[in-house]
Amino acid sequence: MMRILKFSDSDFDTEFRRIEQRAEEVPAGIEETVKNIIADVRKRGDVALFELTAKFDKLELDVDSLEVTEEEIEAAMAQISAESLSALQLAAERIADYHAKQKQETWISTDESDVLVGQMVRPLDRVGIYVPGGKATYPSSVLMNAVPAKVAGVEEVIMVVPMPNGEVNPHVLAAAKISGVDRIFKLGGAQAVAALAYGTDSVPRVDKITGPGNIYVATAKQLVFGQVDIDMIAGPSEILVINDGSGNAAHIAADLLSQAEHDELASSVLVTSCEKMAAAVQAEVEKQLSELSREGIARKSIDDYGAIILAQNLDEAIAFSNRIAPEHLELAVDSPFDILPQIKHAGAVFMGHHTPEAAGDYLAGPNHTLPTGGTARFFSPLSLDDFVKKSSIVSFSQAGLQRLGNEIVHIAELEGLEAHAKSVSIRLKK
Residues between 137 and 156 that touch its own copies (CB under 8 A): 137-140
Residue 237 amino acid letter: S
Q: In the window 285-304, what residues touch its own copies (CB under 8 A)?
A: 288, 292-294, 298
Check 328, 345, 353, 368 and give the catalytic one: 328
Q: In the window 257-276, what residues touch its own copies (CB under 8 A)?
A: 257-258, 260-262
For helices 295-305 and 275-289, the axis angle rounded to 10 degrees is 150
**What DSSP state is assigned to residue 45?**
T
Nearer to its own copies, 45 or 123 (CB): 123
Check 238, 261, 327, 357 and give the catalytic one: 327
Angstrom distance (rounded) from CA 52 to CA 190: 10
Residue 219 amino acid letter: T
Angstrom distance (rounded) from CA 118 to CA 392: 6
Nearer to its own copies, 55 or 410 (CB): 410
Angstrom distance (rounded) from CA 94 to CA 88: 10
Of 1, 39, 63, 340, the residue at the interface with its own copies (CB under 8 A) is 340
Applying CB under 8 A, what is the total number of residues that bind its own copies?
Answer: 116
Minimum distance from residue 414 beta carbon to its own copies (Å): 6
Q: Is 99 in the active site?
A: no
Q: Per DSSP, what are the bridge partners of residue 396? A: 115
Residues annotated in the binding site for Zn(2+), as ranges?
259, 262, 361, 420
Nearer to its own copies, 189 or 347 (CB): 347
Residues annotated in the binding site for NAD(+), as ranges?
130, 191, 214
Minimum distance from residue 61 beta carbon to its own copies (Å): 27
Q: Is 410 in the active site?
A: no
Nearest to 37 by CA among 189, 208, 200, 201: 189
CB atoms within 10 A of CB 78: 9
Angstrom distance (rounded) from CA 427 to CA 156: 43
Q: In the window 13-72, what residues touch its own copies (CB under 8 A)?
A: none
Q: In the window 72-91, what residues touch its own copies (CB under 8 A)?
A: 83-84, 86-88, 90-91
Reduced to 3 states, what is the DSSP secondary structure of residue 371? coil
Nearer to its own copies, 49 or 126 (CB): 126
CB atoms within 10 A of CB 74: 12
Site track 342-381 with its own copies (rule: CB under 8 A), x = hit: -xxxxxxxxxx-xxxxxxxxxxxxxx--xx---xxxxxxx
Q: Per DSSP, what are the bridge partners of residue 123? A: 388
Of 40, 57, 207, 238, the residue at the interface with its own copies (CB under 8 A) is 207
Residue 280 amino acid letter: A
Q: Which residues contact 424 (CB under 8 A, 6 or more apart)?
A: 401, 405, 408, 409, 412
Q: Is 391 in the site for its own copies (CB under 8 A)?
A: yes
Active site residues: 327-328
